[in-house]
Amino acid sequence: MKNVLITGSTGMIGHLVLQKCLKHDGVQQVTSITRRKSGVSDPGLVEILHNDFLDYAAIANSFKNQDLCFFCIGVYTGQVSREVFRRITVDYTKAFALALKENSPGATLCFLSGQGADQTEKSPIMFAMDKGIAENFLLSLGFGQTYIFRPGYIYPVTPRKEPNFSYKVMRWLYPLMKKLYPSGVITSQELVDAMVDIGMNGGGKRVYENRDIRGVRPLG
């Protein structure tokens, strides 16, 4: 039975990860670190409200004795300034990972990245460069296992308010893209099923591209 730590549990993917872990027979307890309440009530859930994602000293005990962690914090390109995007994508990731490494060094870490992430850190595309920087930092820490997931366009399985016009178009085009470009799209539930399965049972790769994620057949 594993203790699971999740951050980003009020987002589209993090919320589904939270729900799936709470239902998983192999999970003993789920700890969620979040700015606001998720609205989920479960005897196996410990919800920690925390506002400073650059400093976890006040809640360090929440990072102790964790077996598996899902880092699902992210922001859409164009929603915030360049400076804020770097802070959320890189600095938040580093601060969280260091707190986890100090308190549960042998944990398995699953990181929600994105298609096109560039580990050379030289891409002129903000998203690709910053995700690559974050990935490299996580891999350098030497957790028990580190798994990086790079989905393409994620089709929401439940209705939501799309973050911008391009996502509205992508949602409308999804059925066609699934036929013509399956390696570039995935449903939110397919992604979460793969992330939780690999986190719980292990996987043969460190980096899972969209086509790899789609190829995962969860054990349960």
The per-residue pLDDT for range 65-94, each reduced to its tens digit, is 999 999 999 887 777 889 999 999 999 999
CB-CB neighbours of 20 under 10 Å: 20
Question: Looking at residue 164, what is its pLDDT?
Answer: 59
Matching residue, tokens 């298609």 = 115
Question: Looking at residue 209, what is its pLDDT?
Answer: 97
Q: How far is CA 18 from the centre of its chain?
A: 11
Structural contact between residues 85 and 126, judged by C-beta atoms closer than 8 angstroms: yes
Question: Looking at residue 182, what is its pLDDT?
Answer: 73
Please give the average per-residue pLDDT across 181-210, as a whole number. Answer: 93
Letter string b/e over residues 90-124, b meaning 16 or more CB atoms within 10 A of that residue's CB: bebbebbbebbbebbeebbbbbbbbbebbbeeebe
CB-CB neighbours of 137 under 10 Å: 15
Residue type, position 31, single letter: T
Question: Looking at residue 167, what is its pLDDT?
Answer: 58
Question: Looking at residue 84, what is its pLDDT?
Answer: 94
The per-residue pLDDT for range 12-63, each reduced to its tens digit, is 999 999 999 999 999 999 999 999 988 888 999 999 999 999 999 999 999 9
Residue type, position 212, single letter: D
Please give the average per-residue pLDDT across 87-114, as a whole number. Answer: 97
CA distances from 98 to 86, 92, 102, 139 (A): 17, 10, 6, 12
Question: Looking at residue 165, what is its pLDDT?
Answer: 56
pTM comes to 0.91
Q: What gap in Å lies between CA 87 and CA 163, rounded to an integer?
A: 19
The per-residue pLDDT for range 122-144, each reduced to its tens digit, is 999 999 999 999 999 999 999 99
The per-residue pLDDT for range 150-185, each reduced to its tens digit, is 999 888 877 666 555 565 666 666 667 677 777 788
Strand, coil or helix: 27:
strand
Tokens of 2: 């594993």
In DSSP terms, which residues pair with 97 in a beta bridge? none
Structural contact between residues 49 and 37, judged by C-beta atoms closer than 8 angstroms: yes
Q: What gap in Å lies between CA 136 and CA 120, rounded to an integer?
A: 9
Give 194-199's long-range contacts (Cβ < 8 A, gap of 24+): 194/149, 194/218, 195/13, 195/17, 195/70, 195/110, 195/112, 195/147, 195/149, 196/17, 196/20, 196/21, 196/24, 196/70, 198/110, 198/147, 199/68, 199/70, 199/108, 199/110, 199/147
